[in-house]
């Protein structure tokens, strides 16, 4: 019983740390955009100047959208299938980030093993930690109570499979 309590506390702490990081990053970008808009409007500029400066700030179009792979574990009493998990991920991300956020992050469930509860999700975009936070907040999958714990974010699918096989053995 002590081990389960410790795991739950650790999962809560990780979720809070990810939420704090995401909030701080969002707030920083939001403040910079507000300053740009205020400066542009006070100088009598038009919306095109704001759009150009905000694009530079957010680096949209300047950087290649990187693929990241999130390794996660599902803790559930009931067995959860691949398609049910994928649908739950997509619906929850759509509810949390909106349709634009869902398209921008381009989340795809690559692999999931119902026996071990381990899986890999591909995330395309600049902030995979935001998606990890959203996924970790998911608590129901097809009316089955579940906890999803993000374990690691890697830069290549090969490393993700390697780490996943190491976790499966232990």
The CA-atom distances, in angstroms, between 148 and each of 15, 17, 124, 138 are 10, 16, 20, 7
Model confidence at 47: pLDDT above 60 = no
8: helix, strand or coil: helix
Cross-strand partners of 147: 75
d(CA 107, CA 85): 12
pTM over 0.75: no
User: Which of these, 110, 96, 27, lies nearest to 68 by C-alpha position?
Assistant: 110
- Phi then psi for residue 141, to 5 deg, are -130, 110
E strand or H helix that includes residue 1: none
Model confidence at 40: pLDDT above 50 = yes
Local confidence band at 29 (pLDDT 50, 70, 90 cut-offs):
low
Structure confidence at residue 61 (pLDDT): 47
Q: Report domain extents, the chain.
A: 2-58, 67-169
Q: Give the class (CATH, top level) of 67-169.
A: alpha beta
């Amino acid at each position: 019983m002590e081990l389960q309590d410790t795991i739950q506390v650790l999962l809560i702490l990780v979720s809070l740390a990810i939420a704090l990081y995401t909030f701080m990053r969002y707030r920083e970008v939001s403040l910079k955009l507000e300053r740009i808009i205020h400066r542009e409007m006070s100088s009598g500029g038009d919306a095109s100047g704001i759009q150009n400066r905000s694009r530079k700030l957010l680096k949209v179009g300047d950087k290649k959208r990187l693929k990241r792979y999130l390794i996660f574990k599902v803790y559930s009493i009931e067995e959860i299938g691949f398609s049910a998990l994928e649908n739950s991920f997509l619906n929850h991300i759509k509810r949390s980030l909106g349709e634009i956020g869902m398209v921008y992050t381009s989340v795809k469930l690559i692999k999931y093993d119902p026996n071990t509860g381990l899986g890999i999700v591909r995330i395309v975009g600049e902030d995979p930690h935001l998606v990890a936070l959203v996924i970790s907040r998911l608590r129901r999958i097809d009316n089955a109570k579940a906890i999803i714990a993000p374990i690691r974010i890697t830069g290549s699918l090969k490393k993700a499979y390697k780490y996943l096989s190491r976790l499966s053995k232990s």
